[in-house]
Chains A and B, each alone.
Chain A
């Protein structure tokens, strides 16, 4: 099994929202960041993957299982943390763990309890009385306690304070180091994913805009400051995502994808001077990609 998650031509429609031809390839053993602004289709994609919504078309494979035909076999091996808590408030933490564990064949009660202590969650506290951060930790604990081969996390740290975010991510990374499990993590918090992901998929307006190893994603996109008359970009050896005169310096600024240093010749040959080539961080690449993909759609 090369890919833990694979979709081909995945489509879905609800009202005016449309997911079109989403083709995900999430390599087994990777930590895959599924990035997109709010409303881009992240949660919808996850719900389709896990059988909670019915696609209008396309194929899904999870851990080698065809979905929906073999969904139960796939779900038995998947830990899922939804965007909103799904635990009964009347149960205590210990009861919630026993209840959840009863559904999963590989539930490891002793390990789950050691996580509970590491997370400082009181066993006898009612779920309804947990703080937001404690609830977040409980949900991660429940998913990890299943000993899943694939973890699907939908905005797992959204709204949590930095201490809790750190605890949660550390627990996930520790589990990955131990087991080699695949993690599919959706977020609009780009910086958080920058440290931990080795693959990135970007979704916007229901379309997958990019899917790349993170180093390729970051290294190929540059901001280039130019002096002199910039040539028309039709024959450029790279893709121009955007070009503008920001008024901060003389000349234009271009944001390009697929840049390699010998491509400077392209500008010098056209009578322009490359003043500076600046690297972008993940968030800037993300913003530029969205800008250019939205521009292309219009």
Chain B
């Protein structure tokens, strides 16, 4: 689930970690009440600074995804379906934003991109 967390990316590591967990929660890989890995476990397994994991978990707590119980761990909170949908929409927008930026770098215009997207989607659903 944390594959490809990339220190060289301009996206800070804590944001990358938080993003993976948001996706996992939205996709129901985590159920209500499930414990996230401990800060110590996750820091050691990703080989990142423990403070980075703490910051990711704090951000997730502030956004209502998880609850940090002192001394016990970090747990996934009950999420209304609307919040899951909202999160999926957010992720979809982000994917498209990245795509548009990459296309612009290659000199691909919006129309050509939209056309390519339509064709690929048709093929995917064929």
Q: Which chain A positions have C-beta within 8 A of B9? A: 279, 281
Interface residue ranges of B23-70 to A (CB < 8 Å): 39-40, 43-44, 46-52
Interface residue ranges of A167-211 to B (CB < 8 Å): 169-170, 173-174, 176-178, 191, 194-198
Contact B7 A173 (CB under 8 A): no
Q: Which chain A positions have C-beta within 8 A of B12? A: 215, 219
Q: Mark A143-186, 1 if CB is under 8 A from B, else 0.
A: 00000000000000000000000100110011011100000000
Q: Is A140 interfacial (CB-CB < 8 Å)? A: no
CB distance from A249 to the nearest CB of B (A): 11
Contact A218 B50 (CB under 8 A): no
Contact B39 A177 (CB under 8 A): yes
Q: How far is the CA of A176 from the CA of B49 in the complex (A)?
A: 8
Q: How far is the CA of A258 from the CA of B67 in the complex (A)?
A: 36
Most buried by A among B10, B43, B105: B10
Number of B positions contacting A (CB below 8 A) = 18
Q: Is A115 interfacial (CB-CB < 8 Å)? A: no
Number of A-B contacts (CB under 8 A): 57
Q: Is A282 interfacial (CB-CB < 8 Å)? A: yes
Q: How far is the CA of A174 from the CA of B8 in the complex (A)?
A: 22
Q: Which chain A positions have C-beta within 8 A of B52? A: 198
Q: Which chain B positions have C-beta within 8 A of A109? A: none
Q: Is A276 interfacial (CB-CB < 8 Å)? A: yes
Contact of B10 among A176, A178, A196, A219 (CB under 8 A): A219
Q: Is A64 interfacial (CB-CB < 8 Å)? A: no
Contact A177 B10 (CB under 8 A): no
Q: Is B76 interfacial (CB-CB < 8 Å)? A: no
Q: Which chain B positions have C-beta within 8 A of A22? A: none
Given A31-B49, A196-B49, A215-B12, decide whether A174 and B7 contact each other with a Cβ distance below 8 A. Answer: no
Secondary structure at chain B's binding surface: helix, strand, loop or mixed? helix
Number of A positions contacting B (CB below 8 A) = 25
Q: Is A133 interfacial (CB-CB < 8 Å)? A: no
Most buried by B among A29, A173, A279: A173
Q: Which chain A positions have C-beta within 8 A of B43? A: 173-174, 176-177
Q: Is B18 interfacial (CB-CB < 8 Å)? A: no
Q: Which chain B positions have C-beta within 8 A of A169? A: 47
Q: Is B13 interfacial (CB-CB < 8 Å)? A: yes
Q: How far is the CA of A191 from the CA of B8 in the complex (A)?
A: 8
Given A194-B7, A194-B8, A282-B8, decide whether A173 and B13 contact each other with a Cβ distance below 8 A. Answer: no
CB distance from B41 to the nearest CB of A (A): 9
Q: Which residues of A contact B (CB under 8 A)?
A: 29-31, 166, 169-170, 173-174, 176-178, 191, 194-198, 215, 218-219, 276, 279-282
Q: Which 10 A-B pairs have the closest CB atoms?
A: A279-B10, A177-B50, A177-B40, A281-B8, A194-B7, A195-B7, A215-B12, A174-B44, A170-B44, A196-B49
Residue pairs across A and B with Cβ atoms less than 8 A apart, 24 shown, are A29-B51, A166-B47, A169-B47, A170-B44, A170-B47, A173-B44, A173-B47, A174-B40, A176-B43, A176-B49, A177-B50, A194-B7, A194-B8, A195-B7, A195-B46, A195-B48, A196-B47, A198-B49, A215-B12, A279-B9, A279-B10, A280-B10, A281-B8, A281-B9
Kindly list 6 other residue pairs between chains A and B, CB separation below 8 angstroms, not including A195-B46, A218-B10, A279-B10.
A29-B51, A174-B40, A174-B44, A194-B7, A198-B52, A280-B10
Q: Which residues of B contact A (CB under 8 A)?
A: 7-10, 12-13, 39-40, 43-44, 46-52, 105
